[in-house]
Amino acid sequence: MAISGSPLLDTFTYHTDFPLTPGERVVVDFANRSVVAYVVEITDELPEFATKPVLQKLDEKPFLTSKDVELALRISERFLCPVGKIFDLFFPPGKVMNVKSFVVPQSQELPIKDIIPLTAAREKFGAVTIENWKKSRKIRIVHSYEQKKTRVQKKKFVRLRLSIKDLEKIKLTDLQRKVVEHLFSFDVIEVRELIKNLDLKSISPIQTLEKKGILEVFEDETYEFSDWTIAPIDELTSEQRRVLNSIVYDFKGVHLIYGLTGTGKTEVYFKAMEKVLTEGAQVLYLVPEVSLTPQLLARVKGTFPGREVRVYHSYLSKAKRQGIWLDAHEGNVDIIIGTRSSIWIPMRKLGLIIVDEEHDASFYQQSSPHYDAVEVAVEKGKLHNIPIILGSATPRVTHYFRAIEGEYKLHKLKHRPVGKLPSLELIDMRKSKGFYVLSKKALEEIKELLKDEKQIFVFVHRKGFSNYVVCTNCGTVIKCPNCDISLTYHRHGNILKCHYCGFTTPPFSNCPNCGSAALSARGFGTERVEYELRNFFPSVKIIRLDKETIESPSDYEKALRMIEQEDAQVVVGTKMIAKGLDFPKVGCVIVVDSDRLINLPRYDATENAFQLITQASGRSGRGTFGKTLIQSFNPDHPVIQNAVENDFERFFETEIKTRELLKYPPFSYFVEMIVEHVDEKRCQKKAEEIAELIGKEFSEQFFEIHGPVVPVIKKFKGRFRMKIFLKLKPEASMKELRELIKKHSAQIDLVVDGIGGML
């Protein structure tokens, strides 16, 4: 049995009097608690130790198959994570059961005559007495299981009922017309959002328009903003057809499409999906972030009218996720578009998995259980014997290496069907005197493009107004009390905020170290860039897209519609604007802080920098014209030069030689062991003990063992941290390492080949 939620790597043996199959959910007694567990294996062999009984089957029918069980075991082995937590991923939240226990008397001599709750019996007779009665079989403990009910809060939405022509014939007040005109921009909008956007004093104007039959107000807890569709592109280019034919000709294994931005990878995906759907199978379409789903959903609905298409991600309510999960499992959904969690949905008729923007770090789960959804997709494809299509303009170095080595099948797209690849221009910020954030050249370019009615994307790596606050007298940086991280200053709300644990505080008047009032905000983020642009262009429509302004998929969809309808002229944003978006009016992308990306403390910093710069620049030139401006204080850096030349293959050749020399992935596996404790000294001592044990018993298995060392983030959410870093040979046995760390698995967090994290 694998125990749900347990941090332990072990599985446990139980006995049962009723038939079970691998993958079924049951309830067992674990550490004197009734918990959910998963059947991993059935055996007739009796163990040499006493076992507890399985208390109850949890589901009327099993949801997982033997292939799902095998997938869980493989991923647990590959990423050294607790198998119980991996099994938990197969099910949506809210499927946990309430377990109620009762005492059933088996002897007439007992003072208990009727069935009573176990808690009441323990309170009345004592826990020891109840346990003794149980051992002597004078009572029996039975269990009742009830599913937790999820409270569903209905939301109110509003939409127009009449066309523009019909509305021209109706006399409206200025306020009513204001409401109607705002609704022209939205097929559907929440009532509270409408009131907020128009700063209405009450709901009265909306109610009046509803009485007149001009608009409709309705309630729904499951409504999706799904009316938006984008017309399909039916004809493929000769290059796209060539790639499609080569994929379909050998429709198995892993296919990697390396396609420059805007070359039409999505159209190839759609044609491959069409083949699978016509054969009655399901498609799983993975995207790295929720922010990419609105426009993609509109394209999928436009291309596959009549097909059942659902979106699956963590922003959905528990009730809705359960409904979509069950429909997908039963085969009632044709296409699932989802983030990394959707890879675990046990779809019964799965015929194809597509992973778009496969390079993206968001596919790696940074919290326990750590796993890479792309690697899970590959393993799932092997088990189900179905094709996997990975696509990116900047593939992961490890995946491109597998492709050129023949493990994956490589396909290339190099020509844009519409528009041209953007011209890239470097701006040497060392010569941009007096312009710290946006260069004079960038500001002039924005001014000219606005005259031509073009849109501009401004990519900034960080959010916030200033990245840190420092005392210029003593050098103290204001840090989060829970994490060893500097607090970011946000001008909106006038607060200092930790972007790791969410801690906020008003700005300090004096330095907490020396008492000086010489505090200075340094660095910049999206909010600062937006602020400066508004100063330079006060009449221009500017919007900001980051996690401070976009809190839900509906927020993101509204922003996308503003861009599509040209209600936004300049868009400032983090990486959510750097990938997957396709707007023909975007004439220029400005990468403000390219140097930060290169200098992150990670082995894959140069890869990440190249990817983000290339992806961001690819948002322009989708129509007839495009330009990218890259600001840098180190314009001669090879990564910057490769990005300017849009030359991934040249970047790859340099990067792979460096990694081979240093024995970095794909020539090794990285394992980071993070030891955490509220006490700093005990944390260090435990880390030293584990490192010494590994060094004694398994040093020959590794290229290198480093640590324990203090990680980049020394303290996280009130817990001190130490890191042990292991570099394993590709042939090293994870099983042996797993056995070693089982003794300490509840005290450490294991990250295998983590991408995108700074631990």
pTM: 0.76
- Give the C-alpha separation, 401 to 398, whole Å: 5
pLDDT of residue 111: 84
Q: Could you tell me the pLDDT band of residue 196, with boundaries at 50, 70 and 90?
A: confident
So what CATH class is 423-464+524-661? Answer: alpha beta
* Span 248-281, pLDDT tens digits: 999 999 999 998 877 889 999 999 999 999 999 9
Nearest of 650, 738, 758, 648 to residue 694 by alpha carbon: 738
- Give the C-alpha separation, 398 to 373, whole Å: 15
pLDDT of residue 223: 45
Q: What average pLDDT does the segment 158-181 reach?
A: 78
pLDDT of residue 741: 77
Q: Could you tell me the pLDDT band of residue 701, with boundaries at 50, 70 and 90?
A: low
Q: What average pLDDT does the segment 438-445 reach?
A: 90
What beta strand segments (E) does 375-460 contain?
388-392, 409-413, 423-428, 455-459
pLDDT of residue 149: 43
* Span 12-62, pLDDT tens digits: 999 988 889 999 999 999 988 889 999 999 988 888 888 999 998 888 778
In terms of CATH architecture, what is 669-752?
A: 2-Layer Sandwich (3.30)
Residue 375 has pLDDT above 60, yes or no: yes
Q: Are 666 and 729 in contact (CB under 8 A)?
A: no
Q: How open is the CA angle 442-443-448, to the nearest 5 degrees?
A: 95
pLDDT of residue 36: 93
Q: Would you list which residues are annotated within the binding site for Zn(2+)?
A: 471, 474, 480, 483, 498, 501, 511, 514
pLDDT of residue 758: 39
Residues 6+ positions from 444 with CB-CB distance below 8 Å: none
Residue 100 has pLDDT above 70, yes or no: no
Q: Would you list which residues are annotated within the binding site?
A: 471, 474, 480, 483, 498, 501, 511, 514
- Give the C-alpha separation, 543 to 573, whole Å: 8
Q: What average pLDDT does the segment 167-190 reach?
A: 76
pLDDT of residue 695: 81
Residue 221 has pLDDT above 50, yes or no: no
Q: What average pLDDT does the segment 291-301 reach?
A: 78
Name the phi and psi angles at 126, rounded to 5: 95, 145
Beta bridge pairs of residue 146: 98
Q: Are 572 and 458 in contact (CB under 8 A)?
A: yes
Q: For domain 238-413, is the CATH number 3.10.25.10?
A: no
- Give the C-alpha separation, 307 to 285, whole Å: 14
Most confident among 125-129, 404-408, 634-638 (mean pLDDT): 404-408
Buried b (16+ CB within 10 A) or exposed e, 70-99: bbbbbbbebbbbbbbbbbbbbbbebbebeb
pLDDT of residue 42: 93
Q: CATH topology of 238-413 equal to that of 423-464+524-661?
A: yes
Most confident among 183-197, 352-366, 568-582 (mean pLDDT): 352-366
Instruction: Give the other-Cβ count within 10 Å of 753's Cβ.
Output: 19
Residues 6+ positions from 161 with CB-CB distance below 8 Å: 213, 214, 215, 216
Q: Are 259 and 412 in contact (CB under 8 A)?
A: yes
Q: Could you tell me the pLDDT band of residue 194, with boundaries at 50, 70 and 90?
A: confident
Residue 232, both tokens? 């399909």
* Span 586-639, pLDDT tens digits: 888 888 888 777 877 678 888 888 888 888 777 776 556 678 898 888 888 888
So what CATH class is 2-147? Answer: alpha beta
Cα atoms in the Cβ-side hemisphere of radius 13 Å centred on 750: 28
pLDDT averaged over every residue in the chain: 83
Instruction: Give the other-Cβ count within 10 Å of 608's Cβ.
Output: 21
Give residue 621's Cα distance to chain centre. 28
Residue 289 has pLDDT above 60, yes or no: yes
pLDDT of residue 148: 45
Q: Could you tell me the pLDDT band of residue 98, with boundaries at 50, 70 and 90?
A: very low
Which range among 100-109, 529-538, 666-675 shows the weakest confidence by mean pLDDT?
100-109
pLDDT of residue 146: 45
Which range among 97-101, 181-185, 200-204, 485-489 shows the weakest confidence by mean pLDDT?
97-101
Strands 139-147 and 97-105: antiparallel
Q: Could you tell me the pLDDT band of residue 580, with boundaries at 50, 70 and 90?
A: low
Q: Could you state, in order of their start, the residue ranges of all structural domains in the chain? A: 2-147, 155-220, 238-413, 423-464+524-661, 669-752
Beta bridge pairs of residue 104: 140
pLDDT of residue 480: 84
| Alpha-carbon distances of 232 from 264, 353, 425, 485, 583, rounded to whole Å | 12, 21, 33, 46, 15
Q: Could you tell me the pLDDT band of residue 184, with boundaries at 50, 70 and 90?
A: low
Residue 434 has pLDDT above 70, yes or no: no
pLDDT of residue 568: 86
Which range among 122-136, 143-157, 415-429, 627-641 shows the weakest confidence by mean pLDDT?
143-157
Residue 150 has pLDDT above 50, yes or no: no
Residue 476 has pLDDT above 60, yes or no: yes
